[in-house]
């Protein structure tokens, strides 16, 4: 089960990268006040960026190593566009870093960044390995399973 990834729209200023290290390398040229929404486990990739300030949103409190200039916001989605807009304004964010989860619950930050004309560094998901079937939603996954069991001769009880 793998929901479809986010797709940039008109007005988006996305910088797509393949890793957190690439995201960190892109930041100094894009801004100095970073809204980092990649989760607490990847903060070590940004720990060397002492000249930048980070707002880190995470469900759980992060542990070192992490950026030296950082404020932590403990929160869990879903988020609203209005809330994200206010967050960007209040913290004077000038660049957003996120992982492409494809999730609707966390997508409002992308709309708020588009409105504010803020660049977004998007860490793409790795490609699905060849030969692995993919379903975009639970209904599609259930249909695939029904099809699989129907042709395998398995009992449908």
| pTM listed for this prediction | 0.82
Mind listing the pLDDT tens digit of every residue in the chain (157 residues)?
667 778 888 999 999 999 999 999 999 999 999 999 998 999 999 999 999 999 999 999 999 999 999 999 999 888 999 999 999 999 999 999 999 987 777 789 999 999 999 999 999 987 777 877 777 777 877 887 887 787 666 555 5
- pLDDT of 155 reads 54
- pLDDT of 27 reads 98
Indicate the burial class of 120 (C-beta count within 10 angstroms; 0-12, 13-18, 19 or more): buried
Domain ranges of the chain: 14-128
The answer to whether the CB of 110 falls within 8 A of the CB of 12 is yes
| 53-58 sheet: strands from edge to edge | 14-17, 120-123, 95-99, 33-37, 53-58, 70-74
Tokens at residue 69, please? 């200039």
- pLDDT of 64 reads 94
The second-level CATH assignment, the architecture, of 14-128 is 3-Layer(aba) Sandwich (3.40)
* Ramachandran angles phi, psi of 131, nearest 5°: 90, -5
Cα separation of 72 and 154, whole Å?
51
* Total Cβ atoms within 10 A of residue 129: 7
How many residues in the chain? Answer: 157
């Amino acid at each position: 089960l793998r929901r479809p990834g986010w797709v940039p729209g008109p007005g988006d200023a996305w910088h797509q990268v393949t890793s957190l290290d690439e995201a960190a390398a892109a930041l100094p040229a894009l801004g100095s006040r970073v809204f980092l929404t990649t989760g607490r486990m990847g903060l070590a990739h940004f720990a060397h960026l002492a000249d930048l300030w980070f707002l880190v949103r995470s469900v759980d409190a992060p542990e070192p190593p992490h950026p030296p200039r950082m404020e932590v916001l403990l929160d869990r989605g879903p988020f609203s566009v209005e809330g994200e807009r206010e967050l960007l304004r209040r913290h004077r964010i000038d660049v957003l870093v996120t992982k492409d989860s494809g999730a609707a619950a966390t997508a409002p930050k992308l709309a708020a960044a588009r409105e504010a004309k803020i660049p977004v560094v998007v860490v793409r998901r790795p490609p699905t390995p060849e030969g692995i079937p993919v379903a975009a939603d639970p209904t599609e996954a259930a249909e695939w399973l029904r099809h699989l069991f129907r042709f395998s001769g398995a009992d449908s009880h």
